[in-house]
Amino acid sequence: MPELPEVEVVRAGLAPAVVGATMTSVAVLDERALTRHASDAADFVAQLEGADVVAAVRRGKFLWLPLADRRQALVAHLGMSGQMLLRTPDAPPERHERVRLHVEHPAHGRLAVVFSDQRTFGSLAVDELLDTPDGRAAGLGSDLPMVPSQVAHIARDVLDPAFDDAAFIAVVRRRSSAIKRILLDQNLISGIGNIYADESLWAARIHPETEGRALSAQALRRLLGEVRLVLEKALAEGGTSFDAQYVNVNGQAGYFAHSLNAYGRTGEACPRCGGRIRREAFMNRSSHYCARCQRRR
């Protein structure tokens, strides 16, 4: 699944092409791409055509484009395999193309933003913008203190300057659930999926099944630091790609997969201590950790 770094790569790639642009026409090829839109495809098109995009914003794995002069945004969630691709307006359809947004940018001219999605768990929607409860910017990419209603329940992510480390640590220290489960809880901390949870826990030498309340504030501060480092490193390398589904707006895959220490390395030697990386079933997925240097407390 695309996680925060992959979505941020897409946001940063889209921003120069769409911020300040007008959506001139919208073509919906497959209505399954609009499952999160409250009305039908005709309504989706009518809401967007003629609208000006003022920013490209991200919180966790959600990406949105606020529209000028109204409290609305185009919200995108990439699901399992969604892609946002920048193409020339007359480019042939992508294999799994669902929606094509034609934009006209004052500096870059006409472009097409193509939403392509093989497995159709991703979605686009026009959504209402709500004021953020803390009055701060809603996410990375804009100072606007307004968040789409569909994103309002999602916690801020650790790369967001308004993420509250002390509040997060206080909540974790009251929980009996496993720290890995807590890291995956989008209502507490967003943007971390299986890959980056395993990598951060490995870096902080914490066993994934450790109860939240068993961790000291100091250990949790160290963990948050490692989460930020892992996400920033993945971001610098263009995200992680295993099957070429997670690509930037030019269709290129990231290469962070080569930098993983624990995830997907079952049976290999731990790069830190030489112990074996183990894989264990965890919430319909797997946890990867070193049994020697990530001891269970």
CB of 138 to Zn ion, least distance (A): 39
What is the contact surface with Zn ion in residues (CB under 5 A)?
Answer: 270, 272-273, 275, 290, 292-293
E strand or H helix that includes residue 8: helix 4-18
Report the alpha-carbon distance of residue 101 to residue 31 in Å, rounded: 14
> Of residues 70, 71, 213, 285, which has the active-site annotation?
285
The answer to whether residue 180 is catalytic is: no
CB of 280 to Zn ion, least distance (A): 15
Q: Which of 183, 173, 177 is nearest to 203 (CA)?
A: 183
CB of 26 to Zn ion, least distance (A): 51
The answer to whether residue 133 is catalytic is: no
The residues near 47 (Cβ < 8 Å, ≥ 6 apart) are: 72, 126
CB of 5 to Zn ion, least distance (A): 24
Which residue, 224 or 290, is less far from Zn ion as judged by CB? Answer: 290
Neighbours of 258 (CB within 10 A): 8
Which residue, 213 or 295, is less far from Zn ion as judged by CB? Answer: 295
Q: Which of 190, 203, 182 is nearest to 260 (CA)?
A: 203
3-state secondary structure of 207: coil
3-state secondary structure of 72: strand
Which residue, 251 or 264, is less far from Zn ion as judged by CB? Answer: 264
Which residue, 54 or 204, is less far from Zn ion as judged by CB? Answer: 204
The answer to whether residue 2 is catalytic is: yes
The answer to whether residue 3 is catalytic is: yes
> Of residues 11, 58, 59, 61, which has the active-site annotation?
61
Q: Which residues are catalytic?
A: 2-3, 61, 285
